[in-house]
Structure 1
Amino acid sequence: MTVHPTLEPYADAWTHSIEAITELVLPLPEAQWNLPTPCPGWSVRDIVSHLIGLELEQLGDPRPIHTLPRDLRHVVDEFTRYMEVPVDVRRHHTAPEMTSELEYTVIRRQRQLRNERRDPATTMVRGPQGNQITLEFSLRLRAFDTWIHEQDLRAALGVPGNWDSPGAFVARDILLAGLPKVVAKGAGAPPNTAVVIDVHGPVEFLRTVRVDAAGRATLDKTPSLGPDVSLAMDWETYVRLAAGRVRPRTVADRVKVEGDTELAAAILGAFAVTP
């Protein structure tokens, strides 16, 4: 796929994940489309519907006009209502209808990306809730969202894989960008605090969140010699926690905690950075 150099890594990551998803769902019998996924409230069909809906928005198609049922417990605010509309309109679609629409949508999007000639840094496009964001950030979000949902589908279908695919590294950077807010605001870490996150597995990294005297948090690659809290876990656990797919207590045996246990619990409790 030939795109602007700035967009290329995100286009490659999105393509890798959306094609993997297509391969996963094409052979599914009707019943498996109803399997629950780790994404709260959504089945396999719902996740594919969500992906189709957002890609159609990127293509400039109008959003469906649809009134949501009032008994959807996972719909709690304007953001979740916005995301639910393209999902709910497809809840009774058959497996062939879903796969046909997915394949056609992917073909259209790939053609759009191949022909993209606009400046990614200055061109504004529709964001996840109708807001305006740059073309570059938009595709970055689509690569991230698609990889996260690929993992949701793999978990539901019992087909693990692609934990180190191109989308994984896009996800790493986006999830890490949310860590300072988790520590300083979500967990209320006091000034002059250092928190080390040590992740191992197919994607490895060590990062330190430092809260300065004014309470502002920053993220860097320099290890702290005496951190107030150190959290070590595998990459899969990190993703599931940061994406809000699991509660800390359910993966407590996969997280090694050192230092201030009360602060560590607060950090893990606020770990999710996705809406």
Structure 2
Amino acid sequence: MTVHPSLQPAIDAWTHSIEAINELVKPLAEGDWNRPTECPGWSVRDVVSHVIGVESEMLGEPRPIHTLPRDLFHVTDEFSRYVEVQVDVRRCHTALEMTSELELTIIRRSRQLRNETRSPRTTVRWPLGAGPERTLEHQLTMRAFDVWVHEQDLRRALGAPGNLDAPGALVARDVLLAALPKVVAKDAGAPPGSAVVVDVHGPVEFLRTVRVDADGRGTLDSSVSLGPAVTLAMDWETYLRLACGRVRPEGVAGRVSAEGDPRLAEAILRAFAVTP
């Protein structure tokens, strides 16, 4: 048996991004590993540690037994504490230790994925120990999403832009757009009967309309709305940074155009972040 065709796009996107991360960090000097990223409290080393840690858990490796310091301001709940263990345990690792572990993890995980024969609908344990069980297809899609987003975190921290149109970018687009109706209708409270248009340009381009029905539920489509309550226009990287909580709206005010109801536009942008 071979990998199910519906799983291959996520596996390919994951492979492209994690190999790009490996190439990015392999030549880094020790000091570069300490550069801050847009992930609160995390350096370049910490982002790579997170990627290694999650993929190690996907391989079935036991979690490290480790007590976190009490002064980590960005650790605010059980989920962040769970995630932080794999990060903090590697904060004393050297550049060579980091790159060696990353390369070995990629080799082992790639082999595991090449030999994946389960159905996409197989129920699997969700990584990071949080939430209900998910399908294998969903799990692999979210791993492709997470690794590509962290590749971009590293690129911004290291001043090495690229791959904004990579296979992982298309996975990220679909994951983030799936959350947009809730952002507009529930979190921002767009009124029933209204429509909000999001127009994104750049390496990944799309125009989507969220329509709020009489019951206050949002739906997403690609048709143009006449007279929307709000139209938001921005470049793809800005959309990514806002939707992943890497920057607050005021930090990219010059890169976002908002037309229509200013209060609703502000509420949508305030609620735009959909990742932990």
SS in 2 for 1:128: helix
Q: CA deviation at 1:129?
A: 2.5
Q: Which aligned pairs between 1:1-275 and structure 2 lie closer than 5 A?
A: 3-131=3-131, 132-275=133-276
Q: CA deviation at 1:123?
A: 3.6
Q: CA deviation at 1:107?
A: 0.2
Q: CA deviation at 1:184?
A: 1.4
Q: CA deviation at 1:95?
A: 0.5
Q: CA deviation at 1:190?
A: 1.4
Determine the C-alpha separation between the residues in 1 that align with 2:157 and 2:62: 30
Determine the C-alpha separation between the residues in 2 that align with 1:168 and 1:81: 28
Give me the TM-score of the superposition, normalised by structure 2.
Answer: 0.97
Deviates further, 120-129 or 68-77: 120-129
Determine the C-alpha separation between the residues in 1 that align with 2:266 and 2:161: 29
Determine the C-alpha separation between the residues in 2 that align with 1:6 and 1:136: 8
Q: Mark the CA change 1:125 to 1:188 in structure 2 (over 3 Å): closer, same or farther.
A: same
Q: CA deviation at 1:130?
A: 4.4
Which whole-Å deviations, capped at 9, do the CAs of 1:92-121 have from their partners, x for residues lacking one? 000000000000000000000011111121
Q: Which amino acid in structure 1 is aligned with residue 183 of structure 2? A: V
The alignment of Structure 1 onto Structure 2 pairs a total of residues equal to 274
Q: CA deviation at 1:65?
A: 1.2
Which whole-Å deviations, capped at 9, do the CAs of 1:219-267 have from their partners, x for residues lacking one? 1111101100000001011001001011101111111111001100000
Determine the C-alpha separation between the residues in 2 that align with 1:126 and 1:222: 34
Which whole-Å deviations, capped at 9, do the CAs of 1:39-78 have from their partners, x for residues lacking one? 1110000000000000011101111111111111111111
SS in 1 for 2:22: helix
Deviates further, 61-70 or 151-160: 61-70
Q: Residue 58 of structure 1 contacts residue 126 of structure 1 at CA under 8 Å; is this kept in 2? A: no
Determine the C-alpha separation between the residues in 2 that align with 1:143 and 1:9: 9
Q: Which amino acid in structure 2 is aligned with residue 186 of structure 1? A: D
Q: Which amino acid in structure 2 is aligned with residue 35 of structure 1? A: R
Q: Residue 54 of structure 2 contacts residue 127 of structure 2 at CA under 8 Å; is this kept in 1? A: no
Q: Residue 37 of structure 1 contacts residue 44 of structure 1 at CA under 8 Å; is this kept in 2? A: yes
Q: CA deviation at 1:27?
A: 0.5
Q: CA deviation at 1:273?
A: 0.6
SS in 2 for 1:232: strand
Runs of 4+ aligned structure 1 residues displaced above 3 Å come to none
Q: CA deviation at 1:122?
A: 2.0
Give me the TM-score of the superposition, normalised by structure 1.
Answer: 0.98
Determine the C-alpha separation between the residues in 1 that align with 2:241 and 2:194: 25
Q: CA deviation at 1:79?
A: 1.0
Q: Residue 237 of structure 1 contacts residue 251 of structure 1 at CA under 8 Å; is this kept in 2? A: yes
Determine the C-alpha separation between the residues in 2 that align with 1:273 and 1:112: 30
The gaps in structure 2 that reach 5 residues or longer are none
The gaps in structure 1 that reach 5 residues or longer are none
Q: CA deviation at 1:126?
A: 3.3
Q: Residue 57 of structure 1 contacts residue 126 of structure 1 at CA under 8 Å; is this kept in 2? A: no
Determine the C-alpha separation between the residues in 2 that align with 1:227 and 1:126: 38
